[in-house]
Amino acid sequence: MLDPTLRGLLSQVERNEIVLPAMQRPFVWKEDRIYRLVDSLLRDFPIGAVMLWKTSTIQRFRRLPRDIDAEVPPIFNYEDTSTDNPNKYLVLDGQQRLTSLFAAFKGTYNHKRLYIDVVSGSRDGKDPGNEYYDCKFLSGSDAATLSSNNSGPRRHFVPVQELITINPVHAAKAAQKKAIDLQLDEHESERIADIYIRCATILGNSKGLHVITVILEIFVRANSGGLVLLKSDLFMSLLDLTWNDIQPELQTLVRDINENRPFEFTRDDILKSLLLAKGAETRFNLLVSDRKQVEELGKGLPASMPEIKKGWQLLGCILVDDCRIHSERFFRGGHNALLPFVLFLSKQNNLSGDDRRKIVIGIYLSIMSGVFSGAEARMGAFAKNKVAASMFFPLNDLVALVKANYGITSLDELLKRHLDLALNIAHGGITIDKNQNPDDLQRDHIFPKSQLEKAGYSDELVNHYANFHFLRGVDNLNKLAKPPHEWFKNPGKNVPPYSDKDLEERLLTLADIQPGNFDSMLQTRGKKIREKAEQLFGLKEQEFNALFG
């Protein structure tokens, strides 16, 4: 019988009575999320719900991790309920919370145990949304160092796993003894007593985490029956019945194609590219309604793994080396825009220079126009009808699709569709600026928007791609409506001015940013950005525009 207290849930995890079904994804929470979760528990806040599926049918499962190693990509090992007690509870929703709670109270995170500063908990000077209780995953030596630091407020870190073993009846007395040992004052002694009592009673809590148990055989249904399940997860669980190693094989492939690359391609991306390779539907919600088709796909998809891996790895090279795209921030609308290119590259043994150039143009067309974002049926039709059987990349068909759906007929119109990528072209590929990741850079007007609007300029001119640049976030906080000829020289207190090299990287000159030069700056800088695109695409602007003719 299920014990809904935290102690009961964690004990059942330890006994492998609460496990993860094959559909579940990897654990992704970072340390700060776990700290907030424990803080919420200590403050008697509700921490959400766990949905458990009670089933006696044979299912494949994996155990919840006891120790989290965030540095090592997980490769799962699966077991079968037929070889063990079949009456298990499978976690449908709440995996992140349960795994975090186990790491905090019984396991480790990156080989460190959870410690709590037993003198923390004061509300003084803190917003209610902040954490009152200072928790950290630490080694024993780290905890000793922090506890012995006398340069600031008193701190003393104790393993949470020791505090939760104290009998609640004796918690106040144990806290008093610790307070005397640490020579704490009255207020500090009150806080340490509060923490000892809260930790000693925390595992007996059955109200913070709401447990929902469902008895539902979802594998025979065509939908998720209102459960908090993604269609891709349901599809994965169906595939797992005929392709038993699907999860570890896909995870290994994801790890391999992302290794040493600045991208975060996912399991679902790989799965969709495999479906395209078989000429199948990629919309998971349609696939799960046809059990027989899923069984056949489960038998046939593994054979496409090697060529799809090649396609993704080659795409990664082209994105970095030829497209000069070095950040996830540029894939607006997700990775669907890349799937037709993966399909084409997976079938190439010797990629010609001309095809490589067409793919670069096609990738920018696809991402910047958004032609496949939120239009998976269109993407699937293009991949299956135009790409799958083509010896050469069908750039003209992609151009026609972009023109028909968005009316784009020129390079200038394309650049207006995606400011981040237009600026990526202007910079020759954003990698790192002043030791910042591209994701941390912000985008803002060169000539301030408010001043231009006051002068009567139209939105189209105010928000033209030539009036934007990437800048450091700390600089953007100080920008306000300061004119560019002043701001570039003094971007903020204790912030270095932008040098001539910084301006040159932005395709600007001091003359461009002088008062009254907005119109001429748009013309000259806009032309320079389009010239950068010419170099990237290997086509003159007139030749690029002629593609749409």
The model's pLDDT over 223-259, given as tens digits with 9 standing for 90+, comes to 444 343 456 777 877 787 788 778 788 889 999 999 8
pLDDT band at 418 (very low <50, low <70, confident <90, very high): very high
The model's pLDDT over 478-524, given as tens digits with 9 standing for 90+, comes to 556 788 998 888 887 777 888 888 899 899 999 999 999 999 999 99
Closest CA to 287 of 278, 297, 277: 297
pLDDT exceeds cutoff 90 at 370: yes
- What is the helix (H) or strand (E) element at residue 528, kind and residue range? helix 518-537
Choose the weakest-confidence range: 118-127, 187-196, 309-318, 406-415.
118-127
The tokens for 89 are 């509870």
| Region 361-365 average pLDDT | 97
Q: Is 289 helix (H, G, I), strand (E, B) or coil?
A: coil
pLDDT band at 26 (very low <50, low <70, confident <90, very high): confident
| Residues above pLDDT 70, as percent of the chain | 91
pTM of the prediction? Answer: 0.68
pLDDT exceeds cutoff 60 at 72: yes
pLDDT band at 433 (very low <50, low <70, confident <90, very high): very low
How far is it, in rounded angstroms, from Cα 310 to Cα 307? 5
Residue with tokens 């290994």: 252
| Region 311-334 average pLDDT | 92
Which amino acid, one-letter code, is at 114?
Answer: L
The model's pLDDT over 171-198, given as tens digits with 9 standing for 90+, comes to 999 999 999 999 989 989 999 999 999 9
pLDDT for 489 equals 87
Angle at 406 between CA 401 and CA 409, to 5 degrees: 80
DSSP secondary structure, 355-405, as one string: HHHHHHHHHHHHHHHTTTTT-HHHHHHHIIIIITT-SS--HHHHHHHHHHH
| Region 392-418 average pLDDT | 95
pLDDT for 56 equals 65
pLDDT for 32 equals 92
| Mean of pLDDT over the chain | 87
Q: Where are the domains of the chain?
A: 6-204, 231-289, 324-408, 421-543
Q: Are 210 and 2 in contact (CB under 8 A)?
A: no
pLDDT for 86 equals 60
The model's pLDDT over 162-178, given as tens digits with 9 standing for 90+, comes to 999 999 999 999 999 99
The model's pLDDT over 75-109, given as tens digits with 9 standing for 90+, comes to 777 777 665 566 788 888 889 999 999 999 999 99
How far is it, in rounded angstroms, from Cα 420 to Cα 470? 8
pLDDT for 417 equals 93
Beta strands in 376-484 (DSSP E): 442-445, 468-471
Q: For strand 88-93 and strand 79-80, is the pairing parallel, antiparallel, or unpaired?
A: unpaired
Q: Which residues of 478-515 are buried (b: 16+ CB within 10 A; e: fewer)?
A: ebeebebeebbeebbeeeeebeeebbebbbbeeebbee
The tokens for 28 are 């992704």
End-to-end CA distance of the chain, in Å? Answer: 71
Cβ neighbours of 461 (radius 10 Å): 14
pLDDT for 540 equals 96
How far is it, in rounded angstroms, from Cα 290 to Cα 275? 14
CA atoms within 13 A on the CB side of 250: 25
How far is it, in rounded angstroms, from Cα 539 to Cα 410? 12
